[in-house]
Amino acid sequence: MNLISILLQAQPGQGGSGSSMLIWMIVFFILIWLLMMRPQQKKAKEERKFRESLKEGDRVVFSGGIYGKVHSVGDTTVDVEVSNGVIMTVEKSMIQPAADNNNAR
């Protein structure tokens, strides 16, 4: 019996453990936000800025991998020339900047 009472006394007190757990949860959520959500928000903001600044002659790539050159820009759509005389109308949200301008025609 004396051994059990000694072991129980040796364990840390339970006072304040709830508040320390709350602090660790807050720190954990802040780290998740900094490492995962913030970079995604930053990338989405850059893509939105790119789509708003599209102008005639810019080289772009569709989400599906088709390269082309901007022919004209509307409010929600973009006309893109994908080959000589072939013009496609696509949603602005499907346009990305061309990573390799050498392959874009």
Give CA angle at 61 (60, 62), nearest 5°.
125
User: What is the band of 4 on the pLDDT scale with cuts at 50, 70, 90?
Assistant: low
Helix (H, G, I), strand (E, B) or coil at 14: coil
Q: What phi and psi values does residue 85 have, to the nearest 5 degrees?
A: 80, 0
What residue spans define the domains of the chain?
Answer: 17-53, 55-105
May I ask the CATH architecture of the domain 55-105?
A: Roll (2.30)
User: What is the band of 37 on the pLDDT scale with cuts at 50, 70, 90?
Assistant: confident
For residue 80, which of 96, 65, 59 has the smallest C-alpha distance? Answer: 59
